[in-house]
Amino acid sequence: MRYVSTRGGAPVLGFADVVLAGLATDGGLYVPQEWPHLPAQLPDGYPALAAAVLAPYVGNDFSADQTRALCDAAYATFRHPDVVPLVDLEPGHRLMELFHGPTLAFKDVALQLLGRLFDSILTARNERVMIVGATSGDTGSAAIDGVRGCANVDIVILYPHGRVSEVQRRQMTTVDSPNVHTVAVDGTFDDCQDLVKAMFNDAAFRGRHNLSAVNSINWARVMAQVVYYVEAARRAGGEIDVTVPTGNFGNVLSGWIARRMGAPIGRLVVASNQNDILTRFFESHEMRATGVSPTLSPSMDIQVSSNFERLLFEMNGRDGAMTRDQLSRFRQTGSLLVEPDQYGEWIAPVFRASRASDHDTLVTIRSVHETTGMLIDPHTAVGVKAAREHMREGVPMVTMATAHPAKFPDAVERATGVRPQLPEHLSDLLERPERTVNLPNDLAAVQQFVASVAR
């Protein structure tokens, strides 16, 4: 399998190179040259299913046995025998719990595999990388956990000092592994992101330390997430609609790919919080950027959804130059309009969307608790509200539950009066020793730190 950039101006690469590259050199995102079809026989068990679904994407870069071994190891870190269990919520509506991994959010599904892919590719090539990233919460801890055991990967994660929740901070700072480093920056999440961008833009620094990223545009993350959509349809035993709490459009794009590969998925419901650029797009056919405001579902507080570019490329008939021009106009004007025929062909038959305010989120958490006794996290609640609005007669709905309620205990307690407990393997999280450094919002200071921990 070969991969092309959505902006048409980067080299065509194989799987291993795409995994290491992350972003294409023309600023685009890598996508496979064609979409494969699902195998006729889907093997039982999640790791076996993952290996079968991913086989056409990894091509010849990994043997079937290697892929299977990586999937076995990645999903052995999940605490539920089904890995991603499907549970009843209310008549016709089920939750797929994606939060049984080490850091309690769905990002583990992709990052447990990505860390192992990285290490395996680097070991074979006798290379090392330094992953640097900025986090406002979930991604940092999931990325750290995905690479904590990797011999050829170091990781430095920047987070805004005093602005991530205690659980999220401790999930990063209590990992006792010589290749893991965290930095509390005196600044905001945007400051952290700017520092990371500046390090990548410093070509000499980037080259000296072989900087790399594991952000949500990495193809391997999107690919790994396709598997649980296939699994959801299989367990439901027929056609389903799926609702996805959405930020960067990575998760729901994976659902679209599963559908494209032949999984029996009818509609995909995009659920946003009040940072609703996507919901507005589905209402108006126009992508228009506005500011971001903080909500109870912080992992969905985004201004522009980076993975939407992959769908746009499809809508443009896989014309990279056209996609590039459209995006550069979007950066200049803050607006991107999709033509009616594109909308009619690509969006209308598949996608629906809804938004939830913080008030809606709390009301939904409370109503689920009252009717079922279950505690759901605020991101999942945004999904449940949207799902309820888009249920169809005779088509089972599955909502992706993207985080464990104990990851966002304050909102859950506010809604229900019940404080969710951390699962057993994290029950002593609040007592574990923390390891982090505090640095000013200063590029030279951060670069000096990165250089000092490079092995």
The only residue of 212, 215, 243, 246 in contact with ligand PLP, by rule CB under 6 A: 246
Question: How many CA atoms lie less than 13 Å away from 152 in the CB half-sphere?
Answer: 18
* Residue that has been written with the tokens 């900025």 in this structure: 134
Q: Does 384 bind ligand PLP (CB under 6 A)?
A: no
The only residue of 179, 248, 364, 399 in contact with ligand PLP, by rule CB under 6 A: 248
Q: Does 196 bind ligand PLP (CB under 6 A)?
A: no
Of 14-22, 195-203, 239-247, 317-325, the window that binds ligand PLP (rule: CB under 6 A) is: 239-247
Residues 74 and 377: their CA atoms lie apart, in Å, by 24
SS3 367: helix
DSSP state, 344? I
Residues 119 and 7: their CA atoms lie apart, in Å, by 28
Closer of 147 and 224 to ligand PLP (Cβ): 224
Residues 264 and 228: their CA atoms lie apart, in Å, by 13
The only residue of 152, 174, 216, 323 in contact with ligand PLP, by rule CB under 6 A: 216
Shortest Cβ 306–ligand PLP spacing (Å): 8
88: left (phi over 0), alpha (psi -120 to 50) or beta: beta
Q: Does 299 bind ligand PLP (CB under 6 A)?
A: yes
Shortest Cβ 167–ligand PLP spacing (Å): 12
Of 23-31, 83-91, 207-215, 241-249, the window that binds ligand PLP (rule: CB under 6 A) is: 241-249
The only residue of 6, 152, 218, 251 in contact with ligand PLP, by rule CB under 6 A: 251
Question: Which amino acid would we find at residue 209?
Answer: H
**CA-CA distances (angstroms) from residue 34 to 4, 31, 56, 57, 263?**
10, 8, 10, 10, 16
Closer of 182 and 225 to ligand PLP (Cβ): 225
Residues 436 and 151: their CA atoms lie apart, in Å, by 21
Residues 339 and 429: their CA atoms lie apart, in Å, by 50
Shortest Cβ 376–ligand PLP spacing (Å): 11
107 catalytic per annotation: yes
**CA-CA distances (angstroms) from residue 122 to 13, 116, 242?**
16, 10, 36
**CB of 20 closer than 8 Å to CB of 129:** yes
Closer of 95 and 130 to ligand PLP (Cβ): 95
Shortest Cβ 454–ligand PLP spacing (Å): 28
Closer of 75 and 249 to ligand PLP (Cβ): 249
Closer of 121 and 270 to ligand PLP (Cβ): 270
Residues 195 and 193: their CA atoms lie apart, in Å, by 5
Residues 132 and 344: their CA atoms lie apart, in Å, by 40
The only residue of 100, 107, 181, 369 in contact with ligand PLP, by rule CB under 6 A: 107
Of 5-13, 180-188, 249-257, 409-417, the window that binds ligand PLP (rule: CB under 6 A) is: 249-257
Q: Shortest CA distance to 82 belongs to which of 64, 67, 95?
A: 95
Number of residues that bind ligand PLP (CB under 6 A): 16
Catalytic residue among 107, 197, 385, 407: 107
Q: Does 146 bind ligand PLP (CB under 6 A)?
A: no
The only residue of 119, 138, 276, 309 in contact with ligand PLP, by rule CB under 6 A: 138
Q: Does 108 bind ligand PLP (CB under 6 A)?
A: no
Shortest Cβ 214–ligand PLP spacing (Å): 13
Residues 260 and 267: their CA atoms lie apart, in Å, by 12
Give the binding site for ligand PLP (CB under 6 A).
105, 107, 138, 216, 245-251, 299-300, 379, 402-403
Catalytic (active-site) positions: 107
